[in-house]
Amino acid sequence: MTDRYSRLVDQYHRDGFVILRNVIDDHLIKECHQHVEFLQKKYPSIPGEHLHHPIMRNDPFWVRLITDQHLLDLVALFGAPFIKPNEGIALFSSHHFCKPPKTGMPVLWHQDGSYWPLKPMDVLTIWLAIDDSDRENGCLRVIRGSHKQELNSLKDDLTVNNVLGSYTHRNEDIDQSQIVDLVLKPGDVSIHHPNIIHSSEANTSDRRRCGLAIRYIAPTTECLNKEQPVMMMRGKSIAGINHYRSWPKYRPGYDFPFEDCEQWNEKRRIEPEDESYFDRTDYDQMDQEIQDKVFAFIAKLGGKAPPK
């Protein structure tokens, strides 16, 4: 892993992003496709662009995916110096951006760090392509080298229907010569810095564009929002920093079935204070609570829940 990607670490620090090919194998990507279909059937009223972390917190396959050793090894490599081998890796958030054909919403120019309640801003984003991602279906676009800028304040903008309901940079502020389109195939990943300016256009194609954003942090980074389902991915937590959640339990007949799901409960990390959540069997009520939390999160971004 180190030999394969180490030459790209300098590129990441210079440009603020990097693309890595064929990180996740075809079998796991096939399971990702099936999982997204499972989620959209389970939560039909939630827009594909808004499959947020309240779902992840209760979904064992989602956490199995983001704890994949190939991804965690990349975090350890590209997250230096704030990710240290002896301190471990934690997770702040994860979010499916699943833009449907023809109607998939754009994301305005922004810096991720302007949205996040993290102190310090020691975070690394991995964006995993589940579908083909290209200009026609609204791929991620970044401004090369813009990670060296300070974070801008958020500005609301609902004049155009967009995923975040806000921006940090107007289109006229962007150096068009530095725009890079991150064209990815399923299983490829891009890695980007919390300060890099990026966006994506609407999906006007006949093809879906689905990708999973994963936000990894150092265990020395504090999440100031105590409701956020922060999880330890590797190593040990640090006392007094963050309220960690258990990895979700696999419950046959309720959760998405995946390869080796029967062994998952033996591998999961457990936080004793959090385990009562996974003792619940009122699954319909749990699903309603998750949906309500997702729509509350969307509302904070300027979006709206569907009419009842």
In sequence order, the 6+-apart residues with CB closer than 8 A to the CB of 251 are 278
Per-residue model confidence as pLDDT tens digits over 217-246: 999 999 999 999 999 999 999 989 999 999
Distance of alpha carbon 80 from the chain centroid: 20
Q: Per the structure block, which two tokens stand in for 298?
A: 């969307």
Cα R_g (the chain), whole angstroms: 18
- Give 4's pLDDT tier (boundaries 50, 70, 90): confident
Q: What global pTM score does this model have? A: 0.95
pLDDT at 209: 97
Does residue 1 have a pLDDT over 60? no
Q: Which domains does the chain have, with CATH numbers?
A: 1-301 (2.60.120.620)
pLDDT at 308: 38
pLDDT at 307: 41
* Alpha helix stretches (DSSP H) within 137-282: 261-267
In sequence order, the 6+-apart residues with CB closer than 8 A to the CB of 87 are 218, 219, 220, 235, 236, 238
In sequence order, the 6+-apart residues with CB closer than 8 A to the CB of 211 are 96, 97, 98, 127, 128, 129, 130, 131, 133, 140, 184
- Give 38's pLDDT tier (boundaries 50, 70, 90): very high
Q: Quick one: which of 167, 163, 98 has its CA closest to 128?
A: 98
Burial 212-231 (b: 16+ CB within 10 A, else e): bbbbbbbbbbbbeeeebbbb
Tokens 């990097």 correspond to 18
Cα 260 to Cα 229: distance, rounded to the nearest angstrom: 24
Question: What mean pLDDT is predicted for residues 186-194?
Answer: 97
More confident residue, 140 or 299: 140
